Each structure stands twice: as C-alpha cells, then as structure tokens.
Amino acid sequence: MRNIVITGAAGGIGSAVSRLFAAAGERVFLGYAHSKDAAEQLQNELRAQGREAFALPLDVTDPASVKDAFAAVRELGGADVLINNAGLACDGLFQDVDDITAAEVFEVNLNGAQRCIRAALESMLPKQQGVIVNITSIWGEVGASCEVHYSAAKAGVIGLTKALAKELGPSGIRVNAVSPGVIRTPMLDRYDEATLQELAEQTPLGRLGTPEDVANAVGFLCSPAASFITAQILGVDGAFAR
C-alpha cells in the first residue's frame, strides 16, 4: 500500500483521482485548502467502502500548512506519490488582471506545486523512489486568449516537470504531467449548454473530457506499467486545440 497525496482532492478531477487510487487499495490523503466539508464527505465515502482515506488540511500557498500536512503523512510512512492537482484559473483581458490576482494564480498553480514537491521529497529521497504527477493544462502548451496568466503558470509547471525529472531520475523518482483539455467539471458550470456543445464540437473526438479520463491517465503514470516513463506531458484533451 502506497501513500498517495493529492492536492485539491475535493474538486472534480481531484475526487476522481482520489477514488481511483482508493479503489486500487492505496492510502489516500485528500488535501484541501477551503473545501473542508467536501473533503470530509469524500473521506467518509471512501471509508464506507473499506478504504484508507484521510482529509488533510493542505493550503499549497501557505508554507506552514504544507509543512504540517507532509509531517502528518510522514507519521504513516511518508509520501510515495504526489499528485499536484490544486489549481486556480483566471479569466480576463491581460491588462485588466491586477498584480494581486496574477500573483495568486502563480502562487497556487506553480509555486504551490514546487512547494509540495520539496516537502514530498523529504520522504522520497531517502527511499530512492517515488512518483510525482503534476496536473497542467492544454493552455500551458498552446496558450489561451483571456487566460494569459493561467497559461503562463501552467507552462511553468511543464518546465518544472521536465527539468525536475532529469534532476530526480538518478534518485529513482519519476516526474510527469497530465495536460487536460476541456473537462466537464464544476469549473465549466459558468458556461451555458450551447457553449459546452460548441466546445465538444471543437474537440476532434466529439465530446468533452471527464474527470475519470484524467484520473485514468494519472493512474497509468503512477503504475508499474509506466516505470520507464518520466519527463513526459500526457495530453488528455481529445486533440482539442492541437
């Protein structure tokens, strides 16, 4: 049984990832910053199925919160797998996004990821093994108008993934990323059905992605079947925007 730490675990993608690992018999730590009720509800759902699940206060923007969270995980053996899923989007014209908002987008998406990785490595490096999967975005690869800061932050996550994989490879630690396209999560609730249908039509596979599509990709990258795969960005996007 491995210890799987998932940030943003109560969200659409995070909860699907959490359920996948729990169903595989792994011990899951459900990191949350503001969604305590949702994280605890997910914890109780998984425990009712006989799984080991722990709602874990984990604000990736707060160094003290990150330190405390990973210290709690070390009491049960330390992190074996880290899924950096916590994210923050930002819509708006580039010149209309103020410095505070822009900084928050980078703090959650990029700085939060590197902060959690550093904490997880305290357990992984002594073991000379571990897996890190960062959730990025198709916009980090191709860019998106009116989501410039989000695109830039996710592009940073891609650079972080590729460089860190080379640095950590000799220590037996693999680092990859999953790059979702348009995924049907609560983040899309702001769009009407006509817009969602248009997005589906713009996707060559003819549909929107699901959280489970992303979770399955994450699960593969963390499995023995991917033991020789590192520094890769796996698109889960139906060829949207390619």
SS3 125: helix
Q: Checking DSSP bridges between strand 3-6 and strand 81-84, what pairing results, if any? A: parallel
CB atoms inside a 10 Å sphere around CB 156: 18
| Residues 6 or more apart whose Cβ sits within 8 Å of residue 235 | 138, 141, 179, 181, 242
CA distance 36 to 200: 32
Dihedrals phi, psi of 46, to nearest 5 degrees: -70, -40
Alpha carbon distance 21, 11 (integer Å) = 15
- Catalytic, out of 29, 32, 150, 240: 150
Do residues 174 and 230 touch, judged by C-beta distance below 8 A?
Answer: yes
DSSP-assigned letter for residue 85: -
Q: How many residues does the chain have?
A: 242
Q: Work out the burial of residue 170: count CB atoms within 10 Å of its CB; fewer than 13 is exposed, 13-18 middle, 19 or more buried.
A: exposed
| 32 classed as catalytic | no
Report residue 84 as tokens.
């950096």
**Secondary structure in 3-state letters for 36-53:** HHHHHHHHHHHHHCCCCE
Active site members: 150
